[in-house]
Structure 1
Amino acid sequence: MSRKHTFDVLIIGSGAAGLTLGLSLPDHLSAAIVSKDSLNAGSTRWAQGGVAAVLDQEDSVEAHVNDTLIAGAGLCHEPSVRHTVEHSTAAIQWLIDLGVPFDQGENGESFHLTREGGHSVRRIIHAADATGVAISNTLQKAAKAKKNLHLLSNYIAVDLITGEKLGQKKQGCFGAYFLNKATGEVEVITASSVVLATGGASKAYLYTSNPDGASGDGIAMAWRAGCRVANMEFNQFHPTCLYHPQAKSFLITEAVRGEGGHLLLPNGKRFMHKFDNRGELAPRDIVARAIDHEMKRLGADCLYLDISHKDKDFIIAHFPTIYERCLELGIDITKNPIPVVPAAHYTCGGVVTDINGRTDIPGLYAIGETAHTGLHGANRLASNSLLECLVFAREAAAEIATHASSGAKLPEIPDWDDTQVTDSDEAVVIAHNWDELRRFMWDYVGIVRTTKRLVRAKHRVKLLREEIQEFYGNYRISNDLLELRNLVDVADVIIRSALLRKESRGLHYSLDYPEALPRAFDTVLTPKYLKELGEL
């Protein structure tokens, strides 16, 4: 018999989006914030650069909106962009009031702002080069002190519980099944409002800046439950991840280029001016493609990012985390360039939501990297991601507070049935399929694409989905199996979306369709229609 927990609000994910929503709920609503690993395991802690916001007299809402629209390559939803930017100052003030230790400016009265690619002015507020850690620690401390919040670690979501799955006329989302990783048992958590704040799906790729948990869980669960997803072909590849055999997923923040860092070929020559007149400060999609192009042209394993021409004290003060990590690996960035490669970094598409985070299913919300809000368009502007987490989490919390009531009556939820499954002695199948998926996604659905490669990937992912579904139906579930199942579902919608876009725009670059179409359209996938066509 499954153990059951009931709350007013269930928040799946403990990064900036999930914690912000929980902290923004009124005290009379009980809420569970569930992390599939420790509370520290999400992508928020890995964010180095900072948060983009209008914080200086030299800046304006219009300038920030315009920079976002330009980076988004014509696909941003301007109302969403404007809403986000107009609420940016208040969101940062909320973090300051909570105690996030952002770097002070030289006069000690204002905060130090840095500049990143695609931004026309300095507007990135940060805590040295470890902004994510500072924000995460502060949010966690506040969440632990809030009595109506219950923090659950090492629970991985299996699937959402909806009215349709229960065979009921009343539609809605009423909770989820979770694998308790400590006991191996599947438990039920019910709630009248369910929030997906599980991050993105960059672990679908062989090289990524993301932690291991970025397996697209929320996007996959919402897709299986019947929600539309949009613009999943736009996967942002961060141009500069540290290239070293012992440097697993270590990002070199965009702020290094913002503070004057030069990208170099192996012979020490700069090259970005050949691709864009903004040079190293061009948006990420342009820089990533340029690096990818030069690596392939030269047959190079990596290129280099050099900040050593700056003063040593300046480098150590602004980039202490990068300096220390590189020094551990024998690279002194005050004297030598940093070896870098592009890596999958951010999922610009996601579950379709409105301005309040509502999805197609009543009672189900999606926020942060899991959601498609229309903010990012075809390419996310640097440091808009944490801003999106803050703004939309606060909007969703206000929406939930307006409609939720404490102790709302929920339908009867059946226990998880695992009586027909056995323990698997074929864990090698999961490991092999995981490796195969990530390799063909990197080779066929990466920075530069062709229709032929995408068709190959679609064929491969179809076979993998069938194999994994059979495994899922016959054997007891595990963390690795659940993540692989989610990644395969997300990879499938990425490939389908990429095949539907007959142009090159932003992060989606096709050698078969190198030009952008005159008008920009979202790629929206609807699971119901694909099922009717026999595609799912």
Structure 2
Amino acid sequence: MTRAVDVVVIGSGVAGLSTALGLAATRDVLLLSAGDGSTPWAQGGVSAAYGEDDPLDHWRDTDIAGAEFCDPRNVRALVEEGPQRVAELIAHGARFDRNADGSLSRTLEGGHSRPRIVHAGGDATGAEVHRALRIALQRTGVRTMSGRTVGLVQSDSGSIVGVLVQTDGHVTQIDARAVVLATGGIGNAYLASTNPSAVRGDGIALALRAGASLVDMEFVQFHPTALHTGETSGQLPLVTEAVRGEGAVLLDAHGNRIMDGLHPRADLAPRDVVARAIEATMRRDGTDHVWLDATGVAPDVIRRRFPTVLASCARIDVDMVSEQIPVAPAEHFLCGGVRTDRNGATDVPGLYAVGEVAATGVHGANRLASNSLLEGLVFGRRVATALTLDLPAVDHGRTHEVSPGEDREPERIRSILTRYAGIRRDGASLNAAADELDALGNGPLATVARSVIVAATARQDSRGCHWRSDHPHSDKRWDDHIVVHLDAEDRPTTRHLQRSEV
């Protein structure tokens, strides 16, 4: 069975919902979903500089956290358009936390120079943003469809002209003049992640197979404080760094503060700095976690601001009001992804990408806290604006199917990526990873893992969340971006791209 629409949006997280909502009044849109992605799990909030807070300061904080590797034009769009997108979200019914005088409550998180994080439900911001966008989209009457996207339809001239969706064992072809990937990052390409299990890079593998290129795939961010539950695989509960923003501190096994003297902002340093410090502490002490001490935070503040974290801790019999919280880093966010322009267009005509699957350059080499929901809101609207103004022309040529196939040993692939491309990397380990992956075929997870490995191998310096113990310093000779594309044998390979060309 074949259907036809103007635009297919794949993914129902904040980026996909924002894109579909922005198109609802002007285009025939179909939203495809195989789950809600990472958005409902986001705890901290949405960063927005308004009032006495200057967007230029937000720009600087973003660039510093990103190891000065960000795209300045897109960061400017992020910080200047962000407050308007938040205001629209409130108009759609989002209920953000407010102070007694009715103003929005704003908190401080790692890497920010001032409190600018608006939040909802204390630490349930993602769930509230998702709820508000979903209800707003339902009011428009945009059609939605649940199912797994198993392929793209590509014309022989190279344009993407549709998708293949599997529902209840049947595959439906949906023709479209544009397809927007909003499929999230690569979290569960690793053993332990803060992402739900469905987020594992399928959209990235699809884009590569269709001829798109990736950029900055070596920059995989690990959140410093996932709750240490004793599990070593699957989705781990997040302990938002807003807990540290309220005064909690990181301690080693001996009760010493981990971040003292390591960074001017101590426990509120950028995530890459804190994650590396925790990893080094665990390696030194031979432990599998460290401690987050929030006992100095007023109990009423904890109960009001962090009900989600409080409940997660209670499930492992920890009372965060009176006891220290066991935490360890876990894979959290992909700073790179499918290479796009400012409006989400990829190298492939008719194919767009937005949100964590896309590489807009706003995160540079390390994402600033609470810029991810903001990116989905801002760039979702930018993609919608571009497709409202101009749709790709109808391509009536012959077509073929593009499918990433299936993986033979997904757990082994996840183990390889976790072992060799985590917080700490080196050339010998990356080469070993490449050798082990060679025997595991070209399925989507293997393709994603290889993409991270080849990019991390190519970048022989350290910056942001890419840290190589054999090249521990940033080197101007590596100021170029690493682009990944498939070679003639469908294996990821790299080339260098000057920053001026991005």
TM-score range, shorter chain: over 0.9
User: Contact between 1:8 and 1:408, CA under 8 Å: does it hold in 2?
Assistant: no
Q: SS at the partner of 1:523?
A: strand
In the other structure, the counterpart of 1:438 is 414
In the other structure, the counterpart of 1:237 is 222
In the other structure, the counterpart of 2:366 is 379
1:191 aligns with 2:184: no
Q: Which runs of 5+ in 1 are unaligned?
A: 422-426, 470-484
**Take 2:491 and 2:218, find their aligned partners in 1: how far apart are those partners?**
23
Q: Which runs of 5+ in 2 are unaligned?
A: 495-502
User: Contact between 2:486 and 2:492, CA under 8 Å: does it hold in 1?
Assistant: no
Post-superposition, which runs of at least 4 consecutive aligned residues in structure 1 deviate over 3 A?
A: 245-248, 407-417, 528-535
In the other structure, the counterpart of 1:526 is 485
Deviations 1:306-334 (A, max 9, x none): 11111111110010111122123211111
Pick closer, same or farther for the CA change 1:17–1:450 going to 2, 3 Å: same
Residue identity matched to 2:304: A
Q: Alignment RMSD, CA only? A: 2.2
Aligned partner of 2:434 among 427, 438, 458: 458
1:132 aligns with 2:126: yes
**Take 1:140 and 1:62, find their aligned partners in 2: how far apart are those partners?**
31
User: Contact between 1:15 and 1:136, CA under 8 Å: does it hold in 2?
Assistant: yes
May I ask how many residue pairs the two structures share in their alignment? 489
1:37-436 to 2 correspondence within 5 Å? 37=35, 41-57=36-52, 59-108=53-102, 110-127=103-120, 128-147=122-141, 149-153=142-146, 155-163=147-155, 168-169=156-157, 171-180=158-167, 183-245=168-230, 248-404=235-391, 410-411=396-397, 430=408, 433-436=409-412
User: Contact between 1:308 and 1:336, CA under 8 Å: does it hold in 2?
Assistant: yes
User: Contact between 1:144 and 1:151, CA under 8 Å: does it hold in 2?
Assistant: no
Q: CA deviation at 1:106?
A: 3.1
Deviations 1:197-230 (A, max 9, x none): 0000011111111100111111111111111100
Residue identity matched to 1:60: D
State the TM-score, normalized to the length of structure 1.
0.87
The farther-off stretch of 63-72 and 273-282 is: 273-282
**Take 1:271 and 1:364, find their aligned partners in 2: how far apart are those partners?**
45
**Take 1:377 and 1:13, find their aligned partners in 2: how far apart are those partners?**
23
User: Contact between 1:52 and 1:123, CA under 8 Å: does it hold in 2?
Assistant: yes
User: Contact between 2:249 and 2:294, CA under 8 Å: does it hold in 1?
Assistant: yes
Deviations 1:336-381 (A, max 9, x none): 0110010000001001111111111111110000100111111010
Aligned partner of 2:457 among 483, 496, 499: 499
State the TM-score, normalized to the length of structure 2.
0.93
Q: SS at the partner of 2:192?
A: coil
Deviations 1:466-516 (A, max 9, x none): xxx5xxxxxxxxxxxxxxx32211111100000110101111111111111
Q: SS at the partner of 2:476?
A: coil
Q: CA deviation at 1:411?
A: 4.8
User: Contact between 1:116 and 1:255, CA under 8 Å: does it hold in 2?
Assistant: yes
**Take 1:444 and 1:216, find their aligned partners in 2: how far apart are those partners?**
18
**Take 2:107 and 2:492, find their aligned partners in 1: how far apart are those partners?**
50
The share of aligned pairs that are identical, in percent, is 41
User: Contact between 1:357 and 1:396, CA under 8 Å: does it hold in 2?
Assistant: yes
Q: CA deviation at 1:140?
A: 1.1
Q: SS at the partner of 1:87?
A: helix
**Take 1:530 and 1:416, find their aligned partners in 2: how far apart are those partners?**
15
Deviations 1:154-181 (A, max 9, x none): x111222112xxxx33x3110111222x
Pick closer, same or farther for the CA change 1:188–1:307 going to 2, 3 Å: same
**Take 1:190 and 1:340, find their aligned partners in 2: how far apart are those partners?**
46
Residue identity matched to 1:120: S
Q: SS at the partner of 1:495?
A: helix
In the other structure, the counterpart of 2:499 is none
Q: SS at the partner of 1:273?
A: coil
User: Contact between 1:174 and 1:410, CA under 8 Å: does it hold in 2?
Assistant: no
Aligned partner of 1:517 among 467, 475, 496: 475
**Take 2:421 and 2:110, find their aligned partners in 1: how far apart are those partners?**
24
Aligned partner of 2:34 among 28, 33, 36: 36
